């Protein structure tokens, strides 16, 4: 009996070791491109053009950041990215929290069919196919001259995932709270913002971070919508434009420096919201 327990213990340790090694390899593969870009942002462009897998630069060049900041008009583009990201986050939090609450608590005809369609669209990605009709629609309603159209479209494309998360979290909240609030005279909407909304903080933190990141990383749509107005460009578009700012060659050093600058805000936000993010993800996955 003791021998079999020892064998089982060894197998368990070997399994844990294998999982740890596997996770370390996955983390290394995931982080390597980011680390390469960060170190590459300090290299001379000639060194980057020669290629190779060497991480550390032969000579640290801080001038890359100064040039990237001025050539890409980062002050203006950063403001645009913040406006888009915060706008997407606010619209997403309002719509997904309300929709998730209704799907979890309200009974109406066609509810399950409608929710099934929302969930199905989580796995559908038509990509840039919808860009032309969306842009033409924005032109017709005269919304192509501001970032509002970009915010609304970007917020709308991710709603299925966020509603799924909020509804899953809502199902973990006891319905007895709703009944108690009804006895006290609260309406359906009053229960939402007085009772339920404060309890949704963990999943709303998760949704807020994910939607902010999605808005910050938007590229194709802002590129199309800001072609005629450079002042509306976000950071993602401005960074890629740095590639063509070199003297006849691709300015990878400036592009890497710009990409590193654009990563910093997301990293800072995640550091301060990581606890709420993980809490919301795990709690929202308990029930669907």
**Can you say whether the dihedral through the CA atoms of 90, 96, 98, 99 is positive or negative?**
positive
66-113 pLDDT, tens digit each: 888 877 778 888 889 999 999 999 999 999 999 999 998 888 888 888
**Can you say whether the dihedral through the CA atoms of 188, 193, 198, 200 is positive or negative?**
positive
Of the candidates 182, 183, 175, 215, the one whose C-alpha atom is nearest the C-alpha of residue 199 is 175
DSSP characters over 111-137: HHHHHHHHHHGGG---GGGGHHHHHHH
Work out the number of other CB atoms within 10 angstroms of the CB of residue 276: 17
226-235 pLDDT, tens digit each: 887 778 888 8
In this prediction, residue 287 carries a pLDDT of 46
Measured torsion, CA atoms of residues 51, 57, 58, 61, in degrees rounded to the nearest 10: 110
Give the contacts of 148 (CB within 8 A, at least 6 positions apart).
87
pTM (predicted TM-score): 0.80
Give the contacts of 238 (CB within 8 A, at least 6 positions apart).
72, 73, 74, 77, 258
Give, for all 288 residues of the chain, the pLDDT tens digit. Answer: 555 556 557 778 888 888 999 999 998 888 888 888 888 888 888 888 777 677 888 888 888 888 888 777 788 888 899 999 999 999 999 999 999 999 988 888 888 888 888 788 777 665 667 778 888 888 888 777 788 888 988 888 778 888 888 998 888 888 888 888 888 888 888 888 888 888 888 888 888 888 998 899 888 888 888 887 778 888 888 887 776 665 556 778 888 888 888 888 888 887 777 776 666 666 554 444
In this prediction, residue 288 carries a pLDDT of 44
């Amino acid at each position: 009996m003791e021998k079999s327990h020892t064998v089982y213990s060894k197998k368990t340790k070997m399994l844990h070791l294998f999982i740890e090694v596997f996770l370390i390899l996955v983390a290394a593969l995931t982080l390597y491109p980011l680390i390469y870009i960060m170190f590459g942002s300090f290299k001379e462009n000639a060194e980057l053009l020669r290629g190779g897998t060497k991480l550390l630069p032969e000579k640290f060049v801080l001038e890359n950041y100064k040039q990237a900041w001025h050539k890409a008009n980062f002050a203006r583009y950063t403001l645009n990215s913040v406006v888009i990201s915060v706008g997407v986050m606010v619209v997403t939090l309002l719509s997904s929290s309300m929709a998730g609450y209704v799907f979890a608590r309200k009974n109406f005809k066609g509810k399950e069919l409608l929710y099934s369609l929302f969930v199905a669209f989580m796995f559908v990605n038509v990509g840039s196919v919808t860009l032309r009709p969306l842009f033409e629609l924005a032109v017709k309603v005269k919304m192509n001259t501001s970032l509002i159209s970009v915010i609304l479209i970007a917020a709308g494309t991710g709603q299925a995932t966020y509603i799924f998360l909020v509804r899953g979290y809502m199902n973990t909240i006891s319905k007895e709270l709703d009944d108690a609030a009804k006895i006290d005279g609260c309406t359906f909407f009053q229960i939402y913002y007085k009772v339920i909304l404060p309890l949704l903080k963990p999943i709303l933190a998760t949704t807020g971070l994910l939607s902010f990141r999605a808005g910050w990383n938007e590229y194709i749509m802002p590129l199309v919508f800001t072609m005629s107005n450079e002042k509306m460009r976000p950071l993602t578009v401005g960074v890629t434009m740095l590639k063509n700012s070199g003297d006849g060659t691709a300015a990878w050093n400036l592009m890497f420096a710009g990409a590193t600058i654009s990563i910093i805000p997301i990293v800072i936000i995640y550091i301060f919201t990581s606890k709420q993010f993980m809490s919301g993800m795990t709690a929202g996955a308990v029930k669907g």
